[in-house]
Amino acid sequence: MARLRWMTAGESHGPSLTAIVEGIPAGLPLLSEDINHDLARRQRGYGRGGRMKIETDRAELTGGVRGGETLGGPIALRINNSDHANWQGRMGPDPFPAPPEALTRPRPGHADLAGGLKYDRKDLRDILERASARETASRVAVGAVCRKLLSLLGIDIFAHVVSIGPITATLPDLPLPDLRARARASDLACVDPAAEAAMRTAIHEASHAGDTLGGVFEVIATGLPPGLGSHVQWDRKLDGRLAQALMSIHAIKGVELGLGFTAATLRGSQVHDPITYDPAHHFDRPTNRAGGLEGGITNGMPLLCRAAMKPIATLKKALPSVDVHTKEPFDAAHERSDICAVSAASVVGEAMVAITLADALLEKFGGDSLGELRRNLETYRAQLAAY
């Protein structure tokens, strides 16, 4: 049973984005700065389009927080769309003074045509406004609240970009804090400087060719107790919940946990993690090929999730498409667009993992206040130590 409920609303060029999250215990210290830091990281990345120069995303907490601490009720927040000022007469809830020009040329790979058919909208802007990944700013804000809760319980999450197009980074053998510092210092959230340089070149070349690029990012979570999620019912399995959370991010087309697809190419002895025991470290694993999950339950090892993002759908050198009004072939409409947004998506991935883990943690340990949650977790840790 999900303990955390959350929802977002708002269009890409509407006045603002809104998010509500319910289930965060009372007494969590929370400032809008805790959220703004992650919002700024989501805006970074070589290959992003002109929109990111217009926006400076900041969260305004409008409910559920008093004097810098959560109250236990729903937390509401708002993020302004600065670009809305440039869309007067074309966006917003009130009737328009004059009908705006309809967008009738669907872009292959975006939600335009599928959404237009489903919702019976002839101006495809009615679809793309909500389909836009602008919505991921709200997710990152909700994720930042969850991340704050998790961090106070010793759980840490970070993401890095593994590949852009054909360029793959090598993960240096460094402790996690050093990897995080490298990812944070990199404009592409990449921990391998040589690969990052090649990624920039690949993005630059794709842009010049009127094309776009995707890639893969990895999210790592440490400090998780064993026992989050459950094997007993399909919708309680944490692997399934993480996959859904990551797959729901715009343009994500594949999710791997641990070895993922590679596991299918190897023998069992090369895939499964031996179990060891010593009184000091208790149960341990010399390897973590399962990525911290067995049976849909965390096993105490770091969680390793990867997500594959397809190339951006809006191409300068547009693919063939058909005008939904005239039914004539047209080159798909090109508006301003990102060329590559994998590093931004990696920040969204962190948020989705944080939300899923906070939900699983609250489900297991409950608690209406941070103190109660903490006590419940400590009691459980004592139970594990005595096992």
Ligand X SMILES: Cc1cc2nc3c(=O)[nH]c(=O)nc-3n(C[C@H](O)[C@H](O)[C@H](O)COP(=O)(O)O)c2cc1C
Ligand Y SMILES: C=C(O[C@@H]1CC(C(=O)O)=C[C@@H](OP(=O)(O)O)[C@H]1O)C(=O)O
Of 72, 69, 32, 21, the residue nearest 372 (C-alpha): 72
Q: Does residue 337 touch ligand X according to CB under 6 A?
A: yes
Contact 135, 10 (CB under 8 A): yes
> In whole angstroms, how close is the CB of 348 to ligand X at the nearest point?
6
Please tell me the distance from the alpha carbon of residue 370 to that of residue 4, in angstroms, as a whole number: 14
Cβ atoms within 10 Å, residue 326: 10
Q: Does residue 251 touch ligand X according to CB under 6 A?
A: yes
**Nearer CB in complex with ligand X: 32/132:** 132
> In whole angstroms, how close is the CB of 380 to ligand X at the nearest point?
35
> In whole angstroms, how close is the CB of 136 to ligand X at the nearest point?
5
Q: Name the CA radius of gyration of the chain, rounded.
A: 22
**Nearer CB in complex with ligand Y: 33/335:** 335
- Please indicate if the annotation marks 58 as binding a ligand: no
* CB contact burial 161-181 (16+ within 10 A = b; e otherwise): bbbbbebbbeeeeeeeeebbe
Neighbouring residues of 215: CB distance < 8 A, sequence distance ≥ 6? 161, 162, 163, 164, 165, 199, 308, 309, 340, 342
Contact 6, 142 (CB under 8 A): yes
> In whole angstroms, how close is the CB of 208 to ligand X at the nearest point?
17
Return the one option of ligand Y, ligand X, none that residue 137 interacts with (CB less than 5 to 8 A, by type).
Answer: ligand Y
Nearest 5°: the CA angle 84, 85, 90 is: 65
- Please indicate if the annotation marks 310 as binding a ligand: yes
Please tell me the distance from the alpha carbon of residue 319 to that of residue 261, in angstroms, as a whole number: 31
Question: Which residues of the shown chain bind ligand Y in the complex (CB under 6 A)?
Answer: 12, 49, 51, 55, 132-134, 137, 250, 335-338
Return the one option of ligand Y, ligand X, none that residue 335 interacts with (CB less than 5 to 8 A, by type).
Answer: ligand Y
- Please indicate if the annotation marks 314 as binding a ligand: yes
Return the one option of ligand X, ligand Y, none that residue 345 interacts with (CB less than 5 to 8 A, by type).
Answer: ligand X
Q: Does residue 343 touch ligand X according to CB under 6 A?
A: no
> In whole angstroms, how close is the CB of 195 to ligand X at the nearest point?
20
From residue 122 to residue 161, the character string flagging contacts with ligand X as x (rule: CB under 6 A) and all else as - is ---------xxx--x-------------------------
- Which spans of this chain sit near ligand X (rule: CB under 6 A)? 49, 110-111, 131-133, 136, 249-251, 310, 312-314, 337-338, 341, 344-345, 348
